[in-house]
Amino acid sequence: MFQLNTELAKINGIGQKFLARLAKLQIKTVRDLLWHFPFRYEDYSKVVKIDDLQINQSATVRATVQKISVRRTWRRKMLIVEALLVDETGGIKAIWFNQPYVAQILKDGVEANFAGKVTASDEEIYMSSPAYEVVRGSTSETKHTAGLIPIYPETRSLTSKGIRFLVKPILNNLETIPDFVPSEVLESNDLPNINTALKRIHFPFALEDAEIARKRFAFEDLFLLQLNNLKIRLQLAKEKAPPIAVSQKELDKIIASLPFELTASQKQSLDEIVADLSKPMPMNRLLQGDVGSGKTVIVAIAGIIAAKNNKQTAFMAPTEVLARQHYQTLTKIFGKLNVGICLLTSNEARSFYGDDLEGKRQKSELLKEIEDGKIQIIIGTHAIISSYKGKPVMFRDLALAIIDEQHRFGVEQRAALVKQEKDKGAETTIHFLSMSATPIPRTLSLTLFGDLDLSIINELPKGRKPIITKVVDPKNRPKAYEFIREHVKAGRQVFVIYPRIEPSSKENTESKIVSARQKVWNEVKAVKEEYEKLSTKIFPDLKVGMLHGKLKAAEKEKVMSAFSGGDLNILVSTSVIEVGVDVPNATIMVIEGADRFGLSQLYQFRGRVGRSEHQSFCFLFTDSSSQTTAQRLDALLEAKNGFELAEKDLAIRGPGQFLGDKQTGIPDLAMRALNNIELIKTARSAAEEVLKKDPTLKKHAPLRTRLKDFQKQIHLE
Ligand code: ADP
Ligand code: MG
């Protein structure tokens, strides 16, 4: 009998070569093999007599081999095996291409099942490369013919047939597996037990069997995801964080100091955040809103409130450009409030107490100010969680972490900060607020991000004009350039975003390690070429600047401040510009190779413009004339807001691509199930049900163990 963790290498009769090929697919144990699910089934379940075969029909015949022969085609390129198959009703020809070994197995007189499609050419009717299976007696079990035949994801030299050979006997000799999904959950949702499901997903009697087995596996992952979310919530509810309170009067005063009126959804979000902060347990909230909707102001107010309570805030941005921008925004808007604010990146240290706007500091000096509590809001990059001269940043009283624009919403940063504080002996943990301009479609917020509370800003500040967006036909390029020139003459500025040129997908998979670095280089190369072209050929009379990921921070800073100061007319950039950069006078966004970006990314690029009273434009250039490109770009033209777009993006690209390069650790099947709102809801209520009766899962040992493994898997990045 086999167990799930039996190693395939320990099973008699599996050849070394075969093991090596399986290993290439990461298949090493019985579990790996059985969880390598078919992706479709060939329906050979009809066993018919030869006389009844129909053209184009997929079917199985049981027949005897006659006159089998091997020959080469006249061009001597291809080996052809031909045989006559006969049963008591008649005969049909079978042809195999380039599989000479078939003639070794199927000698004249051998009785076998043949499954395949009946094909007709001008002269004759034949079965083309049928699957065959020698049968002994009438009761022998079949795995390649006479049924629904599983087709697996294959690699070169590892065929579905090979996998079937292995799966069938292993399934037949598998020890009963204890099911970690509680039986009452299975029953109330009409799902099969794990043992049945495994058999049926590989060898279904009918397609519905396979479907229901598949549903069970998707369900179990969603169920685990939900349990994980709910456990995190339960855990956080038990942890302590310092309550940070603010009186309504004081809050009103802070709001009144702003140079503008908050929108209704900004107010609503702020109220939710303030309520969380006032509780003695950690906040775990995500603030979502379109680019330019005013998230930064809201999270900054949270930092100000903390500062008024003598608590510190770590405000982390993904890039130095952004960190600096946040620093500038906060010092400008809240400069009079008497709060110590600093900027800490690997290249820069500045601090501000309402006086010296430059505020340059030695890093060691700044760290001392943080440690002494002179600084309350620490804005920076990951430098905040890195160490300097072997020591982590020492906060005097860190209470709030704000994380900007992280796709996975700062799980790692959060963990790093919490650990840092625990290591220093802190008794309480910190409040956690992240913000993102990438709206999460509902299905994902219920699953992958189900441990987070959401606040949503779904409107832009008053007075913003919608951005006119056009997909530009390549032949209209000169016109677009003319348009740009006119607007520059009128004093406006222009972004040109350039994508990296991806190496072909084959190279991509074969050299994953090189590719991350290679990608940056490709991107830089592309943007340099574009810069050359624009600055010397197309706009030699205008001032063009360039920004990419290989520039030093100081150079980036110079280019960015030249652009925001109006000294550059056009800024050519790679996607480093994606997040958050704020230059209101820029009113035209040109996106080259628009088909190479995700919809949400395009949406974010476009959000760089439309921030002033002038009408803004977004031009999308693409050489791709494919249907999907058109469909995707149309979605961008039509979308009313980021949420609508995110839903479409998810539907078009699927969760895997939607979530981007980042590994989520979520199995494929569950990934696809992330689109299935019904199943998600079912899984959620099942998880709630179980945890309500058994919060620590002590009565559900197999589930507890499985959940632990699952958590390891999804945190493994
Ligand atoms: P986000 O972080 O959501 O991209 P920001 O907070 O950077 O948006 O806001 C974009 C710009 O709009 C900033 O210049 C900010 O000062 C301004 N802003 C924010 N809220 C409002 C508002 N309610 N009314 C007018 N301008 C606002
Ligand atoms: Mg922003």
Q: How is 135-174 classified by DSSP, letter by letter? A: --TTT---SSSSSEEEE---BTTB-HHHHHHHHHHHHHTB
Q: For helices 677-693 and 207-238, give the axis angle rounded to 10 degrees.
A: 50
d(CA 546, CA 538): 15
**Which ligand ends up closest to the CA of 294?**
1
Note the pLDDT of residue 489. Answer: 95
Instruction: Kindly report, residue by residue over 623-640, the tens digit of the pLDDT.
Output: 888 887 888 888 888 877
Same domain, 512 and 549: yes
- The answer, yes or no, to whether residue 522 has pLDDT greater than 80, is no
- CATH number, domain with residue 56: 2.40.50.140
The answer to whether position 397 is within a domain reads: yes
**Which ligand ends up closest to the CA of 300?**
1
Mean pLDDT value across residues 181-207: 93
The answer to whether position 359 is within a domain reads: yes
Q: pTM for this one?
A: 0.73
Any idea what the Cα angle at residue 300 is, between residues 294 and 304, rounded to 5°?
145
Q: Residue 91 — very low, low, confident or very high, per pLDDT cuts 50/70/90?
A: very high
Please give the biggest Cα pair distance in the chain: 101
Same domain, 22 and 166: yes
| 332 within ligand 1 shell (Cβ under 6 A) | no
Q: Which atom of ligand 1 is nearest to the CA of 263?
A: 23
Q: Residue 71 — very low, low, confident or very high, per pLDDT cuts 50/70/90?
A: confident
d(CA 494, CA 496): 7
Q: Residue 482 — very low, low, confident or very high, per pLDDT cuts 50/70/90?
A: very high
Between these two residues, 58 and 127, which has the higher pLDDT value? 127
Note the pLDDT of residue 514. Answer: 45
Q: Does an H or E element contain 49, and which?
A: none
| 291 within ligand 1 shell (Cβ under 6 A) | yes
Minimum mean pLDDT range among 244-253, 264-273, 516-525: 516-525
Mean pLDDT value across residues 583-607: 88
Q: Residue 73 — very low, low, confident or very high, per pLDDT cuts 50/70/90?
A: confident
- The answer, yes or no, to whether residue 45 has pLDDT greater than 90, is no
Same domain, 492 and 403: no
Same domain, 372 and 319: yes
Same domain, 527 and 404: no
Assigned token pair, 522 = 């490709």
Average pLDDT, the chain: 86
Same domain, 403 and 335: yes
Q: Which atom of ligand 1 is nearest to the CA of 289?
A: 3
Q: Does an H or E element contain 366, and which?
A: helix 363-372
Same domain, 35 and 57: no
Note the pLDDT of residue 505. Answer: 44
* Dihedral angle, C-alpha 701, 706, 708, 714, nearest 10 °: -160
Same domain, 101 and 72: yes
| 583 within ligand 1 shell (Cβ under 6 A) | no
Domain ranges, residue 61:
44-151
Instruction: Kindly report, residue by residue over 548-559, the tens digit of the pLDDT.
Output: 878 887 888 788
Instruction: Kindly report, residue by residue over 279-314, the tens digit of the pLDDT.
Output: 999 999 999 988 788 999 999 999 999 999 999 999
Nearest CA to ligand 1 atom 26: 461
Residue 287 corresponds to which amino acid?
L
The answer to whether position 9 is within a domain reads: yes
The answer to whether position 650 is within a domain reads: no
Q: Residue 139 — very low, low, confident or very high, per pLDDT cuts 50/70/90?
A: low
Assigned token pair, 670 = 């569950």
Q: Does an H or E element contain 182, and which?
A: none
DSSP state of 464: P
The answer to whether position 429 is within a domain reads: yes
Same domain, 16 and 133: no
**Which ligand ends up closest to the CA of 642?**
1
Mean pLDDT value across residues 135-162: 77
- The answer, yes or no, to whether residue 621 has pLDDT greater than 80, is yes
Nearest CA to ligand 1 atom 14: 582
- CATH number, domain with residue 484: 3.40.50.300
Cα distances (Å, whole numbers) of residue 601 to 167, 393, 598? 43, 33, 5
| 295 within ligand 1 shell (Cβ under 6 A) | yes
Of 143, 174, 205, the last residue of a domain is 174
Q: For helices 599-606 and 627-638, give the axis angle rounded to 10 degrees.
A: 40
The answer to whether position 574 is within a domain reads: yes
- The answer, yes or no, to whether residue 175 has pLDDT greater than 90, is yes
What's the CA-to-centroid distance between 315 and ligand 1, angstroms?
17
The answer to whether position 203 is within a domain reads: no
- The answer, yes or no, to whether residue 515 has pLDDT greater than 80, is no
Cα distances (Å, whole numbers) of residue 554 to 320, 348, 387, 501? 10, 9, 22, 26
Nearest CA to ligand 1 atom 15: 294
Nearest CA to ligand 1 atom 6: 294
Q: Tell me the pairing of strands 284-289 and 453-457.
A: parallel
| 487 within ligand 1 shell (Cβ under 6 A) | no
The answer to whether position 697 is within a domain reads: no
Mean pLDDT value across residues 650-668: 66
Q: How many domains does the chain have?
A: 4
**DSSP-assigned beta bridge partners for residue 568:** none
Of residues 422, 425, 413, the one with CA closest to residue 384: 413
Same domain, 432 and 508: no
Of 609, 640, 671, the last residue of a domain is 640
Note the pLDDT of residue 513. Answer: 43
93, burial (CB in 10 Å: exposed 0-12, middle 13-18, buried 19+): middle
- Judged by phi (left if over 0) then psi (alpha if -120 to 50, else beta), residue 389 lies in left
Nearest CA to ligand 1 atom 19: 294
DSSP state of 305: H
CB 231 within 8 A of CB 239: no
Pocket test for ligand 1, best of 288, 295, 296, 402 (most atoms within 8 A of CB): 296
Same domain, 30 and 58: no
Neighbours of ion ligand 2 (CB under 5 A): 296, 580
Same domain, 531 and 428: no
As separate numbers, helices (DSSP H) first and strands (DSSP E) second, the chain gives: 24, 24
